[in-house]
Amino acid sequence: MTEPIVKFQDVHKSFGDTQVLKGINLDINSAEKVAVIGPSGSGKTTIIRMLMTLEEPTSGDIIVGGTNLWKMEKKGQMVRANEKHLREIRGDIGMVFQHFNLFPHMTILENCMTAPIHVKKEAKEEVRDRSIQMLDRVGLGDKLNNYPSQLSGGQKQRVAMARALVMRPKIMLFDEVTSALDPELVGEVLEVIRDIAKNDDMAMVLVTHEMDFALDIADKVLFLDEGVIAEQGTASQVIEHSTNERLQEFLHRFRK
């Protein structure tokens, strides 16, 4: 078996005096789909934000593609990573946010094109074709020149996915991407993620409360509770056959 694309090694995170993560150990293989479940406030978002370099771990190591994300070598010593080091690794990671975070002053096509052109310095024509293709794939090929404010929440979230995908990340992070949506719009967004999960070979980490969805697409499910991974295994092991009491209690609230 090949090296995992992401490794968390005893990762801790505190905000001030509050210990949020108390020793996370985790391997994610390339192309693996990992669902993260757990009660609100258990640190799910914090885990993927550290991987996206939006939050720095208090201690421990996060290894991405064999390279330490938050530390770098300088004169034979491991020191805090600088922005240049972070940028190099960040290029392999993409993220979709709970509140979409589309650029409101750009059309949806421009939202997709801006990073490949300015960050990856790719040719405009090629990026345009790819962006249109990607927007087609998420079902928004007819809205290219609309602004985000003219779209529904579900449509915005699908644009956000297209925007992340045109960067061709090796790892995609999804933070409760349907929880800000009206219930009738959740389906269309999950459908797009399902399509990506089944057809693309990047690793995916999804924080989600949609248990049936996790059962369907996840290779691995983590149950996060009080700052530790309290349970992990295949989706069926964790969601259907676990005997962990806290997990049972948690699941009970989400499955009717």
Ligand X SMILES: Nc1ncnc2c1ncn2[C@@H]1O[C@H](COP(=O)(O)OP(=O)(O)O)[C@@H](O)[C@H]1O
- Interaction of residue 254 with ligand X, rule CB under 6 A: no
By DSSP bridging, strand 67-68 and strand 59-64 are antiparallel
Closest to ligand X by CB, 40 vs 149, is 40
Strands, E, within 75-213: which ranges?
77-80, 93-96, 171-175, 203-207
Report the alpha-carbon distance of residue 173 to residue 95 in Å, rounded: 5
- Interaction of residue 2 with another protein, rule CB under 8 A: no
Q: Which residues fall within 8 angstroms of residue 66, CB to CB, at 6 or more apart?
A: 3
Residues 64-93 that bind another protein (CB under 8 A): 83, 87, 90-91, 93
DSSP letters spanning 26-50:
EEE-TT-EEEEE--TTSSHHHHHHH
- Interaction of residue 54 with another protein, rule CB under 8 A: yes
Element (H, E) at 13: strand 6-15
- Interaction of residue 15 with ligand X, rule CB under 6 A: yes
Report the alpha-carbon distance of residue 116 to residue 119 in Å, rounded: 6
Report the alpha-carbon distance of residue 79 to residue 82 in Å, rounded: 9
CB of 208 to ligand X, least distance (A): 11
Report the alpha-carbon distance of residue 209 to residue 38 in Å, rounded: 8
Element (H, E) at 233: strand 228-233
Q: Please work out the total of residues on this chain that contact ligand X, with binding judged by CB under 6 A.
A: 10
Number of helical (H) and strand (E) elements in the chain, helices listed first: 9, 12
Closest to another protein by CB, 147 vs 215, is 147
Select from another protein, Mg ion, ligand X, none the partner in contact with residue 167, using the beta carbon and a kind-dependent cut-off of 5 to 8 Å. another protein
- Interaction of residue 205 with another protein, rule CB under 8 A: no
Select from Mg ion, ligand X, another protein, none the partner in contact with residue 94, using the beta carbon and a kind-dependent cut-off of 5 to 8 Å. another protein
Select from Mg ion, ligand X, another protein, none the partner in contact with residue 227, using the beta carbon and a kind-dependent cut-off of 5 to 8 Å. none
- Interaction of residue 178 with another protein, rule CB under 8 A: no
Residues 39-78 that bind ligand X (CB under 6 A): 40-46
Binding-residue pattern over the window 23 to 42 for another protein, x denoting contact by CB under 8 A = --------------------
Q: By Cβ distance, which residue is nearest to Mg ion? A: 45
Residues that bind ligand X (CB under 6 A): 15, 20, 38, 40-46
Residues that bind another protein (CB under 8 A): 52-54, 83, 87, 90-91, 93-95, 97, 99-105, 114-115, 118-119, 147-149, 163-164, 167
